[in-house]
Amino acid sequence: MVQHGGDGWVVEENRTTVPGAPSQTCFVTSFSWCRKKQVLDLEEEGLWPELLDSGRIEICVSDWWGARHDSGCMYRLLVQLLDANQTVLDKFSAVPDPIPQWNNNACLHVTHVFSNIKMGVRFVSFEHWGQDTQFWAGHYGARVTNSSVIVRVRLS
């Protein structure tokens, strides 16, 4: 699901190298809140209910975000663990302080690990938002890239 605020989302080259990113491009937001949401079906991704309910998994989420040097930006992240009926079992949110204008192309990393996961998790909802702080027409807002959701199995 994509919500285009202002002039919407575009794809551009990163202004700062993001370590480990397979592609050095990013999604760029505009002067009003832009939002992207994806819901991952863990069973469709190859995980089976017995493993998901075993108490031995961790779900690691990661997102890189940053700003243009000449414009500050705001960013939000909301990740929810959902059951088969899409009921929220757990959630993580990040609303970091805005990056100010004249920031040397700042790039920041948000991570979280869900552990002690409740039985019944079947979906992960990953949603991020961004906008610029100057309210300029065009695409001067938060730049998001290299988002990931990784399921790890603990061997013990």
Using alpha carbons, select from 26, 23, 33, 30 the residue that is nearest to residue 11. 26
Output the domain CATH number for residue 140: 2.60.120.260
- In this prediction, residue 22 carries a pLDDT of 85
- In this prediction, residue 21 carries a pLDDT of 83
Tokens of 135: 């309210």
Global confidence as pTM? 0.91
- In this prediction, residue 16 carries a pLDDT of 84
**Domains: count for the chain:** 1
Using alpha carbons, select from 69, 54, 55, 52 the residue that is nearest to residue 106. 69
The single residue listed with the structure tokens 């906008």 is 131
Per-residue pLDDT reduced to its tens digit, 88-98? 999 999 999 99
- In this prediction, residue 17 carries a pLDDT of 85
- In this prediction, residue 63 carries a pLDDT of 95
The single residue listed with the structure tokens 């961790």 is 58
- Residue 51 Cα distances to 18, 37, 58, 71, 107, angstroms: 32, 25, 11, 45, 35
In degrees and rounded to multiples of 5, residue 105 shows phi and psi of 55, 50
Q: Residue 134's domain spans which residues?
A: 2-17+25-153
Mean pLDDT of 63-85: 95
Q: How confident is the model at residue 155 (pLDDT cuts 50, 70, 90)?
A: confident
* CB count in 10 Å sphere of residue 14: 18
Tokens of 24: 């050095």
